[in-house]
Amino acid sequence: MAAASSFTVAVMGLGYVGLPLAHGFLASGVRVIGIDNDPAKPEALHAQPIRPYLKHLGQTVYGELAAAARAGRFLATTDAGYLADADAVLVCVPTPLDEEHRPDLSYVMAASAAIGRTLRRGQVIVLESTTYPGTTREEFLRPLLAARPEWKVGIDYFVAFSPEREDPGNREYSTTQIPKLVGGLDAASTRAAADVYRRAFTTVIAVESAEVAEAAKILENTFRAVNIALVNELKGVFGAMGVDIWQVIEAARSKPFGFMPFYPGPGLGGHCIPIDPFYLAHRARQLGVPSQFIELAGRVNTNMPGKVVQVTLAVLAGVAGAGPLRDEIKGRDGRAPRVLVMGLAYKRDIDDVRESPSFAIIEGLAAAGCLVDYTDPHVPATHRMRRRDLGMKSVEIAGPQGAARLAEYDAVVISTDHSAFDYAQVAAHARLVIDTRNAMAVYAERMGSRLVKA
């Protein structure tokens, strides 16, 4: 690590965005205070030895965090009073949706209120949590203004937005190698925030305003959501024509310009892509501006787990020669069908389960009367989440015992295509496979009717 510095950064939220951000600043020699409402995170980071809770970051990162903690350069705590010690405060708290798919800014507002209680002159305050344009100026700033009404933004303290661009599991770009957009509420705030990030990031790009930075992040993720919705819809259209969408995409990507491949799946996961289009659509409705294209894409992607459930139930009903799906599907020997969902994480080779479509698939199959298990080498057990607590443990399917276990299920649904899975073993022993990721393509001829793409 670089030599110690007296400059101190506070990172609010030590999850998938905040923890790698904290590590990036520590690696540059900056002192870091990490604040999280969940006491388990600070406890894990100060344990001897340190307890990794985001395994995709790797042992090297956790080793450096532990070394910084021992040297007194890294403090993880639940006490927001330490914000007073920071020269810059970077806010990386959740921005989820409520049950009606409306933005929930309660975490952002609570963070801003906490900062307001300790705000001091010269502090740089930056929101990184993805949200709709205008949030930093109209919502996030309000508690700060209330706390110090006599102070002026851009003179006494500085406020900006800088969108997180984390991609868990991406081995090509580390956090500080990804270009960092920064937009302030005024020119002085933009300069101050950009100077903070230049301490750790290779490339910092100052933009015209906080609203431009907010909109850029929304555009990045809405672009992906819309294109994923397109291929998800085309999967059904081409499927009805007897054409494999995966082969179509492979053919189309041979064009060296004007085409970018996106791939269908069981639904979207992670914190950004399933959520950001709804934030943008919400803001558009407030302004009376139609955003039908964006809202339609959101509905297409949100409905994908339900379609996987429908396909699975239909195939099970066909195998059993049954009648109405919900009441009549049966497994072998007339009992409730047993289904194994492969993969709980939202994408391959990580342990991130935020907004994973696998949860909706499990719940949908269980509601239809199936007995459902899951297997995921990266997620040995489920944990309590904001809206879910399945209380399940991963089933082991590796090795000879795993082969026998696979054969016990009436259907196996591949929801996440982890590279650790033995797909040859799945092809050999699974009675029926519902493949949402094209993971079994090389075994398609061998499996015949036992393989169904969904």
Q: How far is CA 290 from the centre of its chain?
A: 27
Distance (Å, whole) CA 302 – CA 233: 12
Determine whether 272 is an active site residue: yes
Residue 430: Cβ-neighbour burial (10 angstroms; 0-12, 13-18, 19+): buried
Given the residues 272, 362, 370, 390, the one annotated as active site: 272
pLDDT score of 332: 63
Show the domains of the chain with their CATH numbers: 8-208 (3.40.50.720), 218-294 (1.10.1040.10), 304-453 (3.40.50.720)
- Four-CA torsion 423, 428, 431, 435, nearest 10 degrees: 30
pLDDT score of 333: 65
pLDDT score of 327: 44
pLDDT in tens, 18-30: 999 999 999 999 9
Helix intervals (H) in 321-368: 325-328, 357-367
Distance (Å, whole) CA 443 – CA 424: 8
Distance (Å, whole) CA 374 – CA 150: 56
H or E element in which residue 197 lies: helix 187-198
DSSP result, 328-374: H---GGGSPPEEEEE--SSSTTS---TT-HHHHHHHHHHHTT-EEEE
- Residue 44's CB is within 10 A of a number of other CB atoms, namely 17
**Contact assessment for residue 97 and residue 275, using Cβ atoms and an 8 Å cutoff:** yes
Q: Where do the DSSP E strands lie in 157-252? A: 158-161, 180-184, 204-206
pLDDT score of 328: 47
pLDDT score of 269: 86
pLDDT score of 30: 96
pLDDT score of 329: 55
- Residue 192's CB is within 10 A of a number of other CB atoms, namely 24
**Contact assessment for residue 346 and residue 353, using Cβ atoms and an 8 Å cutoff:** yes
For residue 143, is the peptide bond before it cis, meaning its omega torsion is within 30 degrees of 0? no
Using 70 as the pLDDT threshold, list the residues of the chain that sit under it.
Answer: 1-4, 319-334, 386
- DSSP state letter for 4: P
Q: Is the dihedral of CA 260, 265, 271, 273 positive or negative?
A: positive
pLDDT score of 385: 73
Question: Helix %, strand %, coil % for the chain, to 5?
Answer: 45, 15, 40
Residues paired with residue 171 on neighbouring β-strands, in sequence order: none
Distance (Å, whole) CA 129 – CA 161: 9
pLDDT score of 330: 58
pLDDT score of 323: 36
H or E element in which residue 74 lies: strand 74-77
**Contact assessment for residue 337 and residue 408, using Cβ atoms and an 8 Å cutoff:** no
> Which SS3 state, helix, strand or coil, does residue 427 take?
helix
- DSSP state letter for 103: B
